[in-house]
Amino acid sequence: LHDLATVSEARRNANLGRFFGYRIPCIIVSRGQKVPKYFLDRATAIKVPIFVSPLMTATIASQITIFIEEETAPESSLHGTLLDVFGIGTLLIGKSGIGKSECALELVERGHQLVADDLVEIKLLAGKVLMGYSNDLIHHHMEIRGLGIINIRSMFGAGAVRNQKRISMVVTLEKWSKRAEYDRLGLEDRTYPILGIDLPHLIIPVRPGRNIPILIEVAALGQRAKQMGEHPAQEFNRRLIASMAETEAAGEEGGA
């Protein structure tokens, strides 16, 4: 706008003619600059809206880029419950009635945060980050069989909920089966694909007497340790193999 004011009227009209010859969805004027009447008249004539912002041009461009990326990102939805457990976005999935919401309710009571229950909206940001959100209709609400719909924010306060969270781990709750083989050492790194991204995946069998919320807390802490480069199960396995090797070597020396 400043440059247009420094040129002759003929040249200014020619420049404006070329500028407004493009298909322009809108015009954003930065730094709170006043829009000249000749510019406003041209925009009004072809029905191009003009917005004035107090922000710097670079800041506006950055925020628009982020907005467009989020609005056009690949998205999906899953039936499950998403929580922030010790800073780890934990997605609970499993068959209906397995106890996902009841488990989530106890985790909230223990100080963790609910993001979404029943239906989790997921977007893939920057091609690698899976961000989970709540459906607008059931925002901060949870369905508990026998109690009905409860408002977590009203009951536990604003600190018990959050609007979004990056998903870092998937936990499947399933009914305990004697025929199934479950990972007892934690050496097997399962993954669960969502929108082309493989997430760490744990399967926790559910049966009477098991404290599932505590197990999920431990799983979240274990995932934090892995993100920091620690893998307790693999470290234990290395120590066990080293100990067996030392015992075998000592036996061979004794036999000699």
184 a catalytic residue: yes
231 a catalytic residue: no
Lookup result for tokens 């082309």: 196
At CB < 8 A and 24+ separation, what contacts does 62-70 make? 64/28, 69/125, 69/126, 70/123, 70/125
79 a catalytic residue: yes
What does the pLDDT profile of the chain (256 residues) look like in tens digits? 656 667 788 888 888 888 888 899 999 999 998 888 888 998 999 999 999 999 999 999 999 988 888 888 899 999 999 999 999 999 999 998 898 999 999 999 999 999 999 899 999 998 899 999 998 888 899 988 888 899 999 999 999 999 999 999 999 999 988 777 766 655 677 899 999 999 999 999 998 888 999 999 999 998 888 887 776 666 766 776 777 777 766 666 665 5
The pairing of strands 113-125 and 75-85 is antiparallel
41 a catalytic residue: no
Name the catalytic one among 11, 31, 34, 79.
79
The pairing of strands 88-94 and 164-175 is parallel
Residue 33 DSSP one-character state: P
* pTM of the predicted structure, to 2 decimals: 0.73
Name the catalytic one among 118, 139, 226, 231.
118
| Residues 187-208 pLDDT 10s | 677 899 999 999 999 999 998 8
Cβ neighbours around 227 below 10 Å, total: 13
